[in-house]
Amino acid sequence: MTTEVVKTHIVVAQNASGRNMNVPIYRMQGSRPGPTVYIQSSIHGAEVQGNVVIYQLIQRLKKMDVCGEIILVPNCNPIGTNIKAGEYTLGRFDPVNGTNWNRGYFFDEEAVKRFARTVTPEESIDGVKKRFRSHLLNAINKKLAEPWGLGLAQQLNLKLQQMAVNADFVLDLHNGPVSTRHVYIPEYAKESAALFNIPHCIFIPNVFAGALDEATFCPWWTLQQQVKKNLGRQVSFGVEAFTLEMGSQEVINFKEGNIDATSIVSYLNAKGALHSCDVTPDNMLRIGVYLRDYKTLFTDWGGMVEYLAKPGSPIKQGDAMAQILNIDDLDNENGSRTLEAPCDLIPILHFPSASVLSGTQLYKVFTNYETLTE
């Protein structure tokens, strides 16, 4: 059985000439009941690999029997994609207001707590979910209609969040600077780490810091906890959201995109979004770490750097991570120095440039990590 792909467009912004900037929306509606899935890519302009992953997903999913609905939004931030400086894409921040494109989503914890007080012991889970989704959408719409207006990044974020609000599963596809694959997973959904073919897993607290995954799962987690507190009733709404980091920014690779599409299909199949699908997660080494142990190594110097520690490859305390060139000391023993690992760690990503200012986030690394599967 095949699934039809329906394409529409949404206006996400206007440029300085007053012309609309659109993004495509690909919807796949199954003939069988099932969950709603929302997947987007490229909220940061230089993080383009997710668009190839969505392409590979569409090519595969349209030949499959989808249950429920899958919504795919590639290149969801065309403004960021087009912010260029020479050969580089500077699409991480709203150029007008300086805001991170991935920090303007909406969550009102107190409003969720007020809603929780309206839930009765007799109300069904489906009934609560339907009412709560309506509540969330109304809150987002109200925020978008703010009479004083909103910054460009927040406008974009809220328009995307409108499409994601009804989803049971939300995947936000990203890339690091120079990076290995890793995934951010809310602590309550830790078991889902084994459903993706991603070797490095970061478990984040069930709290809001502005990103889409948090804006998705925090309302449902908060509601679940408040219903338990108010009524003594254990409920699970089954909503999950993840940020998937699929390698390095500024490059695309169709072969790697197909690998990541397989990983996502294995997750969707496990969550009931596909019928008669035989794709299952790989048996592989998966390493996990809590966010508090996902450390940033800053520099206290400036210079030019050769990165010796490869993302994804464990190194021991004292091993060389980088060699630094100091231009002012090329004629003496201080012209080159080595940066050593402060503890046993796994480098996950590093700064993309060889030219480094003091205070730069040089590496992000796993420390105190654990083996999840092998």
CATH number for region 6-284: 3.40.630.10
Going 13 to 17 to 18 to 20, the CA torsion angle's sign is negative
Mean pLDDT of 270-276: 97
pLDDT of 206-258, one tens digit each?
A: 999 999 999 999 999 999 999 999 999 999 999 999 999 999 999 999 999 99
Is the whole model's pTM more than 0.75, yes or no?
A: yes
pLDDT of 156-173, one tens digit each?
A: 999 999 999 999 999 999
56: its two tokens: 């590979």
Beta-bridge mates of residue 174: 245
Domain ranges across the chain: 6-284, 294-367
Q: What is the bridge-based pairing of β-strands 336-340 and 320-325?
A: antiparallel
Q: Does domain 294-367 have CATH number 2.60.40.10?
A: no
φ, ψ for residue 361 (rounded to 5)? -75, 95
Closest of 74, 57, 72 to residue 279, by C-alpha: 57
- Match 């889970």 to its residue by tokens: 125
pLDDT of 58-97, one tens digit each?
A: 999 999 999 999 999 999 999 999 988 888 888 899 988 8
- At position 288, the amino acid (one-letter code) is G
